[in-house]
Amino acid sequence: MQFLQKVRDFRELVMFEHSIFSMPFIFIAMITATQGWFGFKLLLFGVIASISARNFAMAFNRFVDRKFDGTNPRTKGRPSVDGRISPKAMLLFIVVNALIFIAMAYAINPLCFYLSFPILIILASYSLMKRFSSAAHLVLGLSLGLAPIAGVVAVSGEIPLWSVYLCIGVSFWVAGFDLLYALQDIEHDKKEGLYSVPSVFGVQKTLWISRIFHTLTLIFWALFVKEANFGLWMWIGFVVAVAALCFEQYLVSKHFRNIPRAFFTINGYLGIAFLGFCIVDLIDK
């Protein structure tokens, strides 16, 4: 029972269920690169690499942000703050997941291995960036935006133009909804001197910056669909993405209590839906 409780604590630490944000775009890239099924081996390695990279990033964030999380009413109940997980245990967890990610990259191909080190640096830099610059939201976006790049490199060993468009789109998508999520902590960030966009620019400007980011998301996703020569089904998926992001912006602008629904539910389903339309499009060819 104690072991199971510790597993639940670590799952809460890294918010494991949120892996759903980046994982669909890894597989979109892999499916697009191979124009079909890429094999069970790469599926297994891709899943393990994605989970270990995200575990590393989230645990590192929780470790270095313990001080700030302890003064924030929204986060003071996290396992990293209330003593359920010790700093030493977090450090061990961070190192183990970094090694797993590097090992998976090595097992896939040399380019993945070489890229694994700068990717880990980027994943870790988000947690430190917000102490110095409000560009932290874009760094977080890039952290997830690298997922499709990693996916296409895993199956083809190269970085085609369409994967760059997909990467940029995902980066702006994540940065856009992270801006909305950060609205919950605007007063805390001001008090602690953290450079989130809401604490620096205020609520209304943050809402508009988020809308601009999501507009850029849709532009680059449209370029991805066109460059990768998808058909009708993927364009329908694009229209679904437009509707989802518009609805997300509407919910948050209506009332901030809708932020969790907009952040978790809509964005989670969006990635899965985009992957689904990608699969159907390739089957229909």
pLDDT tens for each residue of 216-254: 999 999 999 999 999 999 999 999 999 999 988 888 888
- The low-confidence residues of the chain, meaning pLDDT below 50, are none
- Predicted confidence at residue 239, as pLDDT, reads 94
Distances in Å between the alpha carbon of 194 and those of 81, 161, 198, 260? 18, 35, 10, 21
Dist CA 32 CA 12 (whole Å): 33
Contact 210, 180 (CB under 8 A): yes
CA 119 to chain centre: 13
- Predicted confidence at residue 3, as pLDDT, reads 64
pLDDT tens for each residue of 128-149: 888 888 888 888 888 888 888 8
Beta carbons within 8 Å of 127's beta carbon, 6+ residues apart: 60, 61, 64, 65
Phi, psi (5° rounding) for residue 229? 60, 40
DSSP state string for 66-97: HHHHHH-TTTTTSHHHHSSS-HHHHHHHHHHH
- Predicted confidence at residue 235, as pLDDT, reads 95
- Predicted confidence at residue 163, as pLDDT, reads 94
- Predicted confidence at residue 216, as pLDDT, reads 97
pTM: 0.88
- Predicted confidence at residue 233, as pLDDT, reads 93
- Predicted confidence at residue 57, as pLDDT, reads 86
Q: Please report how many Cα atoms fall inside a 13 Å half-sphere around the Cα of residue 131, on the Cβ side.
A: 8
- Predicted confidence at residue 256, as pLDDT, reads 74
Domains contained in the chain, CATH given: 10-284 (1.10.357.140)
